[in-house]
C-alpha cells in the first residue's frame, strides 16, 4: 500500500504545533522576543535593527494588540513553521518524490534553528522562513519543470525574495545563490528578460527600507556595518560560529547532513548534477560567508541558518536511499534530543531552585543565566504594580511616573510585563546603540517635566549604577526596594526598584 506522506505531514505538524503552543504558554518571552513587541507597538517602514514584517506578524497574531500574551506573540512563528514545512515538502517532492519531501520536512522540524528558534520563538527569522522556503520551491519548479519562460514565476519569485528581505535583509542571498547557479549552469538565462523583472520586484520591496534609512541617516546600515567590521582575525570566533551551527542545526541532523553529502558526492547518479549544483549554490556560499564574518567580528550562529535549508534535501535523499521507515532512526534520535532539551528548558525556567549557571555574586546575582530571561517577569510585574499603587496612594510618588531605562534589555521585558499592568510609560534615556527602538518609541511617550518623579528598575543579573546614570537629572534617588524572584522555594534573582524624586534637569532622550 502506497504511503500517504501528505496526510502524515498534516498530522505531524498538528501535533508539533500543539506541543509548541503549550511550551509558548509555559515559558515567558526572551529578550529578543519582547523587543520585537516594540515593532508591533509602533509600526514603521523599517526599524533600527531589522525590517518591519516581524512587527506586522505580531500585530496580526495579537489581534491588533488586543491579545498580548506569550502565546499570541509566538503564534505567528508556529504558523510560519507549518507553512515552511509544507513548502519544504513540496520542494523535496519536486526534486525527487514525496518520500524525499517527507524526510526533508522531518529534518526541517528536527532542526533546532528551523523548527524551534525560528519555528517557536518570535524573531525576524520566523516570518522569513515561509518566504525563503517558498522561493526555494519556485526555483525548483523553474529549474526542474522548465518554467523559465513563465513570467508569473519570476515575478512571484521576485516578490517572495523581496518579502524575505523585509524580514531580514540577507534574504537577498536568494538572488545571489540563484545568480551563481545561472553563471555555472544556465548562462543562457542571462538573456531572459523575465529574470530582471523579478529582480525589479525585489528592489521595489526594498523601497520602504531605503526610504526609512534616508529619513534616519542610514542608521541601520551604519549600525550593522559596525557589527561586522574588524581588523584582526578571530579564530575563536570562527570556532564558536561552527560549534554554534552544530548545536543550532541539531548535532544529529548536522552529522546526518555531512554523511549524506559524502554519500551523494560518491554516488552522483543519485541526483542530477544540475540539482546538486543548485543546492550547493543556495547553501554553501552563504554558510562560508558567515564563517568569514565570524572570523572578522563576533557573530550569531542563527545568521547562517537559512543556508542549511537546501542541505536538508541532500540528507532527505540519503535517507530515502537507505530506509523505508516512516520515521528513520536519524529523525527519532534528533527529534528526541530536541524534545528532551525543550522539556528540560521548560522545567528549569519554571521550577529550578537556582538561577542555573548564573553568577552567585550579590552585585550581579544570576548574571549570564539564560533561564532568567524567560521567567519571573510576570510575577515581578504584579509585585511592582502593588508597590506602585501603594506609593501613589500614600503620596510618595506621583501617578503615572514613568519607568526609565537605559538599554533595550531589560526595557522590552519592563514594557511588556510591567507597563502593560500598570499603564506607565517606559522612556529610554541612553545612547542610541543601547536603547535602539526605544529612541523612536520615546516620540509617542509623554515628555518628562521639571518636578516629575520616575522609577528605575534594575534586575540583579543586569546591574547598572543608577546614581551615575540619573543622579544629574533628579533631586534625590531613594534607597531601592528589593523584590525577590523565587523559584523552587529559592531566590534566583532580585529586582531593585529605585524612586527618582523631582526632576531638576530634563534628561536628553538620546545621549551622545
Q: Which burial class, exposed, middle or buried, applies to 11 when counting CB atoms under 10 A from its CB (0-12, 13-18, 19+)?
A: exposed
Residue 442 predicted with pLDDT over 60: yes
CA distance readout (Å), 46 to 206, 402, 463 = 10, 26, 31
Closest CA to 91 of 45, 138, 123, 57: 138
Please tell me whether residues 259 and 337 are part of one structural domain. yes
88: in domain: yes
Specify whether 326 is located in the same domain as 424.
no
State the pLDDT at residue 240.
93
Q: Residue 226 above 90 pLDDT? A: no
Quote the CA–CA distance of 480 and 482 in Å, as a whole number: 6
49 and 183 belong to one structural domain: yes
Both 428 and 321 in one domain: the answer is: no
| pLDDT tens, position by position, 118-127 | 999 999 999 9
Share of the chain above pLDDT 70, in %: 97
Listing DSSP states for 357-379 in one string gives: S----GGGTTTT-GGGTTSSHHH
The reply to whether 218 falls in a domain is no
Residues 403 and 258 in one domain: no
Question: Pick from 346, 372, 389: which residue ends a domain?
Answer: 346
Residue 377 has what pLDDT?
98
Residue 508 in domain: no
Residues 182 and 60 in one domain: yes
Domain membership of residue 217 (yes or no) is no
**One domain, residues 81 and 179:** yes
C-alpha dihedral sign at 335, 337, 338, 340: positive
**Mean pLDDT, rounded, for 487-493:** 96
21 and 94, same domain (yes or no): yes
Task: Evaluate whether residue 157 is within a structural domain.
Answer: yes
Report how many domains make up the chain.
2
The pTM assigned to this predicted structure is: 0.95
Same domain, 412 and 323: no
Residue ranges of alpha helices (H) inside 267-407 are 273-281, 284-296, 311-322, 329-351, 377-394
Grid coordinates in use for 300? 550569531
At which of 346, 379, 404 does a domain end?
A: 346
Comparing CA positions, the residue from 221, 317, 323, 205 lying closest to residue 269 is: 317
Rounded Cα–Cα distance for residues 311 and 316 (Å):
9
Indicate whether 11 and 60 sit together in one domain: yes
Angstrom distance (rounded) from CA 147 to CA 196: 15
Q: Which of 311, 346, 381 is the last residue of a domain?
A: 346
Residue numbers of the domain that contains 449: 362-503
At 227 the pLDDT is: 55
Residues 416 and 469 in one domain: yes
Are residue 339 and residue 367 in the same domain, yes or no? no
Amino acid at each position: 500500500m502506497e504511503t500517504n506522506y501528505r496526510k502524515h505531514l498534516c498530522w505531524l505538524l498538528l501535533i508539533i504545533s500543539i506541543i509548541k503552543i503549550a511550551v509558548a504558554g509555559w515559558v515567558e518571552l526572551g529578550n529578543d522576543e519582547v523587543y520585537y513587541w516594540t515593532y508591533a507597538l509602533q509600526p514603521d517602514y523599517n526599524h533600527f535593527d531589522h525590517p518591519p514584517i516581524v512587527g506586522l506578524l505580531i500585530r496580526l497574531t495579537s489581534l491588533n494588540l488586543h491579545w498580548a500574551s506569550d502565546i499570541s506573540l509566538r503564534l505567528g512563528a508556529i504558523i510560519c513553521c507549518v507553512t515552511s514545512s509544507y513548502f519544504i515538502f513540496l520542494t523535496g517532492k519536486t526534486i525527487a518524490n514525496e518520500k524525499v519531501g517527507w524526510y526533508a520536512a522531518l529534518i526541517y522540524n528536527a532542526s533546532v534553528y528551523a523548527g524551534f528558534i525560528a519555528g517557536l520563538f518570535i524573531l525576524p527569522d520566523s516570518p522569513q522562513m515561509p518566504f525563503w522556503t517558498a522561493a526555494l520551491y519556485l526555483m525548483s519548479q523553474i529549474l526542474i519543470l522548465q518554467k523559465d519562460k513563465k513570467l508569473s514565476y519570476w515575478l512571484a519569485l521576485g516578490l517572495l525574495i523581496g518579502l524575505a528581505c523585509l524580514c531580514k535583509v540577507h534574504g537577498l542571498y536568494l538572488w545571489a545563490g540563484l545568480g551563481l547557479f545561472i553563471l555555472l549552469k544556465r548562462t543562457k538565462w542571462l538573456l531572459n528578460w523575465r529574470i530582471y523583472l523579478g529582480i525589479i520586484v525585489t528592489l521595489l520591496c526594498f523601497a520602504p527600507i531605503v526610504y526609512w534609512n534616508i529619513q534616519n541617516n542610514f542608521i541601520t546600515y551604519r549600525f550593522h556595518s559596525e557589527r561586522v567590521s574588524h581588523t584582526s582575525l578571530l579564530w575563536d570566533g570562527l570556532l564558536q560560529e561552527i560549534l554554534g551551527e552544530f548545536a543550532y542545526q541539531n548535532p544529529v541532523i548536522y552529522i546526518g547532513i555531512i554523511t549524506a553529502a559524502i554519500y551523494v558526492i560518491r554516488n552522483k547518479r543519485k541526483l542530477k548534477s544540475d540539482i546538486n549544483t543548485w543546492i550547493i549554490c543556495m547553501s554553501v556560499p552563504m554558510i562560508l560567508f558567515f564563517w568569514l564574518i565570524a572570523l572578522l567580528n563576533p557573530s550569531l550562529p542563527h545568521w547562517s541558518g537559512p543556508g542549511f535549508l537546501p542541505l536538508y534535501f541532500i540528507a532527505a535523499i540519503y535517507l530515502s536511499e537507505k530506509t523505508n521507515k516512516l520515521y528513520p532512526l536519524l529523525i527519532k534520535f534528533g527529534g528526541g534530543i530536541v524534545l528532551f532539551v525543550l522539556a528540560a528548558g521548560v522545567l528549569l525556567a519554571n521550577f529550578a531552585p537556582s538561577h542555573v549557571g548564573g553568577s552567585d555574586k550579590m552585585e550581579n546575582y544570576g548574571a549570564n543565566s539564560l533561564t532568567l530571561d524567560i521567567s519571573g517577569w510576570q510575577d515581578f510585574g504584579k509585585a511592582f504594580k502593588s508597590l506602585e499603587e501603594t506609593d501613589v496612594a500614600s503620596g510618595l510618588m506621583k501617578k503615572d511616573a514613568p519607568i526609565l531605562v537605559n538599554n533595550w534589555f531589560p526595557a522590552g521585558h519592563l514594557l511588556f510585563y510591567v507597563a502593560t499592568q500598570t499603564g506607565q510609560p517606559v522612556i529610554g534615556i541612553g545612547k542610541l546603540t543601547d536603547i535602539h527602538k526605544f529612541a523612536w518609541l520615546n516620540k509617542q511617550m509623554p515628555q518628562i517635566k521639571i518636578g516629575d518623579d520616575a522609577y528605575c528598575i534594575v534586575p540583579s543579573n543586569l546591574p547598572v549604577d543608577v546614581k551615575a546614570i540619573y543622579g544629574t537629572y533628579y533631586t534625590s534617588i531613594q534607597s531601592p526596594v528589593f523584590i525577590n524572584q523565587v523559584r523552587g522555594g529559592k531566590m534566583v534573582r532580585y529586582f531593585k526598584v529605585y524612586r527618582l524624586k523631582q526632576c531638576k534637569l530634563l534628561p536628553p532622550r538620546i545621549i551622545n
